[in-house]
Structure 1
Amino acid sequence: MRALGKITKLTRRALLIGTAVTLTASAGWAAEFTAKIGHLESDQQSRHVHLAKVAELVKERTDGAVEFQIFPSGQLGSQREMTEGVQLGTLEGTVSPAAFLGGFNPAVSILDIPFLLPADPEDAQKLRESAFGEELLESFSSKGVVGIALWPNGLKNFTSNKPLDDLEAFKGQKFRTMDSKILIEQFDALGASAIALPFGELYTSLQTGVVDGQENPLDTIQRMKFDEVQKYLVVSEHGAMEDVVMFNPAWWDSLTDEYRTIITDTFNEVVPELRDHKAKAVEEALSAIKEGDINVRVASDEEKAALREMTYEKAKQAYIDRAGEAGEALIATYEKAYSELK
Structure 2
Amino acid sequence: MKKIISLALAVTMAVSLTACGGNSNSAGGQEPKVEEGSGQGADSQGAETISKQTIKITHPQPEGTPEDMAIKTMAEKIEELSDGAIQCEVYPNGQIGSIPESIQSVQMGVTQIAMGPCAIIASYCEDMALMDMPYLLPQDTSVISQVLNDDVGREFLDRLDSVGIHGMAFWFAGFRLMSSNTDINSVDDMKNMKMRIMESNILTSTYKALGAQPIVIAYAETYNALQNGTVDGQENPAQSIYTMNFHEVQKYLVDTYHDAQTHVLMVNGAWWNKQDDATKAIITEAEIAARKVLDEELPGYTQDCIDKMVEAGSIYHALTDEQVKEFKEATSVVYDEFLTTDWRKGYIPRLQEAFDQAVAAKQ
State the TM-score, normalized to the length of structure 2: 0.78
Give, in whole Å, the separation in 2 of the partners of 1:5 and 1:184: 30
Give, in whole Å, the separation in 1 of the partners of 2:97 and 2:254: 34
From the superposition, tell whether residues 301 and 259 of structure 1 become closer, same or farther in structure 2 (CA, over 3 Å): farther
Residue equivalent to 2:26: none
Residue equivalent to 1:209: 229
Q: CA deviation at 1:227?
A: 1.8
Give, in whole Å, the separation in 2 of the partners of 1:276 and 1:168: 36
Matched, 1:314 2:314: no
Residue equivalent to 1:108: 128
Q: Which runs of 5+ in 1 are unaligned?
A: 10-24
1:32-51 mapped onto 2 (5 Å cutoff):
32-51=52-71
- For 1:140, what is the secondary structure of its paired residue? helix
Q: CA deviation at 1:3?
A: 8.9
Q: Is the 8 A contact 1:57 1:266 kept in 2?
A: yes
Residue in structure 1 matching 2:306, options 279, 286, 289: 286
Q: CA deviation at 1:237?
A: 3.6
Q: Is the 8 A contact 1:146 1:247 kept in 2?
A: yes
Residue in structure 2 matching 1:79, options 70, 85, 99: 99
Q: CA deviation at 1:143?
A: 0.4
Residue equivalent to 1:337: 354
Q: Deviations over 1:3-51 (max 9, x none)?
A: 9662489xxxxxxxxxxxxxxx889x98534321122223322222111
Give, in whole Å, the separation in 2 of the partners of 1:160 and 1:5: 35
Q: Is the 8 A contact 2:157 2:168 kept in 1?
A: yes
Residue equivalent to 2:294: 274
- For 2:137, what is the secondary structure of its paired residue? coil
From the superposition, tell whether residues 272 and 305 of structure 1 become closer, same or farther in structure 2 (CA, over 3 Å): farther
Q: Is the 8 A contact 1:130 1:337 kept in 2?
A: no
From the superposition, tell whether residues 130 and 314 of structure 1 become closer, same or farther in structure 2 (CA, over 3 Å): farther
From the superposition, tell whether residues 234 and 35 of structure 1 become closer, same or farther in structure 2 (CA, over 3 Å): same
From the superposition, tell whether residues 266 and 200 of structure 1 become closer, same or farther in structure 2 (CA, over 3 Å): closer
CA RMSD in angstroms, aligned pairs only: 2.9
Matched, 1:172 2:173: no
Residue equivalent to 2:7: 6
Residue equivalent to 2:88: 68
Matched, 1:150 2:151: no
Residue equivalent to 1:327: 344
Identical counterparts, % of pairs: 29
Residue equivalent to 2:33: none
From the superposition, tell whether residues 101 and 227 of structure 1 become closer, same or farther in structure 2 (CA, over 3 Å): same
Q: CA deviation at 1:65?
A: 4.3
**Aligned pairs, how many?**
322
Q: Give the partner amino acid of 2:354.
A: A
For structure 1, which segment, 56-65 or 120-129, has the greater mean C-alpha deviation from structure 2 after superposition?
Answer: 56-65
Q: Give the partner amino acid of 1:216.
A: N
From the superposition, tell whether residues 177 and 293 of structure 1 become closer, same or farther in structure 2 (CA, over 3 Å): same
Matched, 1:183 2:184: no
From the superposition, tell whether residues 31 and 305 of structure 1 become closer, same or farther in structure 2 (CA, over 3 Å): farther
Q: Is the 8 A contact 1:234 1:297 kept in 2?
A: yes
Residue equivalent to 2:21: none
Give, in whole Å, the separation in 1 of the partners of 2:321 and 2:86: 45
- For 1:157, what is the secondary structure of its paired residue? strand
From the superposition, tell whether residues 26 and 264 of structure 1 become closer, same or farther in structure 2 (CA, over 3 Å): closer
- For 2:254, what is the secondary structure of its paired residue? strand
- For 2:339, what is the secondary structure of its paired residue? helix
Give, in whole Å, the separation in 2 of the partners of 1:317 and 1:178: 22
Give, in whole Å, the separation in 2 of the partners of 1:176 and 1:246: 27
Q: CA deviation at 1:140?
A: 0.7
1:127-146 mapped onto 2 (5 Å cutoff):
127-146=147-166
From the superposition, tell whether residues 38 and 277 of structure 1 become closer, same or farther in structure 2 (CA, over 3 Å): same
Residue equivalent to 2:146: 126
Residue equivalent to 1:18: none
Matched, 1:162 2:179: no
State the TM-score, normalized to the length of structure 1: 0.82
Q: Is the 8 A contact 1:7 1:82 kept in 2?
A: no
Give, in whole Å, the separation in 2 of the partners of 1:291 and 1:242: 27
From the superposition, tell whether residues 131 and 213 of structure 1 become closer, same or farther in structure 2 (CA, over 3 Å): same
Matched, 1:303 2:303: no
From the superposition, tell whether residues 276 and 300 of structure 1 become closer, same or farther in structure 2 (CA, over 3 Å): farther
Give, in whole Å, the separation in 1 of the partners of 2:193 and 2:71: 39
Give, in whole Å, the separation in 2 of the partners of 1:154 and 1:98: 13
Q: Give the partner amino acid of 1:317.
A: D
Q: Is the 8 A contact 1:174 1:211 kept in 2?
A: yes
